[in-house]
Amino acid sequence: MPVIRSSEAVVHEIHGARFVSYATPLSGSKELCAWRGEIPAGHQAPVHTVNREEIFHLLSGELLITLDGRAERITAGDTVIINPGATLGVENPTQETAISWVTTSIGLQAELADGSVLTPPWAN
């Protein structure tokens, strides 16, 4: 039985945010990936379009999520379903770090506004 201890999680930092990876093919997952996201106070992530469904659950803090041009403020306990092909923006307008838990299927890619494609190592 694969058990990933918090001390074994792999940390990635990109675009000013921190991604703590738990479930990936490297840790034994066959279909899904899961990570904790840490979005610092005042941070605005690059807008990107995803190729896989993501389930984004906010554990603590508040965020402004823009999904296909529609902005919504979410708070701890809220979940956002991001469908494949959706364009996502994440902003933390508060003074505290927001913590999220995200799951998706293996093979997630994000296309940035400049046309570049990011294949996040925590989701592949």
CB of 120 closer than 8 Å to CB of 81: no
Position 25 scores a pLDDT of 93
Q: 3-class SS at 87? A: strand
Integer Cα distance of 23 and 99 in angstroms: 17
Position 8 scores a pLDDT of 93
- pLDDT band at residue 124, thresholds of 50, 70 and 90? confident
Question: From start to end of 10-118, where are the E strands?
Answer: 10-14, 17-23, 32-39, 48-50, 54-60, 62-67, 70-75, 79-82, 87-91, 98-105, 110-112, 117-118
pTM for this predicted structure: 0.94
CATH of domain 8-119: 2.60.120.10
Integer Cα distance of 124 and 18 in angstroms: 16
- Report which of 89, 82, 100, 101 is spatially closest to residue 44, judged by C-alpha positions: 89
Q: What's the whole-number average pLDDT of the chain?
A: 96
Give the model confidence (pLDDT) of 65-106 as tens digits: 999 999 999 999 999 999 999 999 999 999 999 999 999 999
pLDDT of 1 over the 80 cut: no
CB of 24 closer than 8 Å to CB of 104: no
The domain ranges of the chain are 8-119
For 72, the token pair is: 């919504």
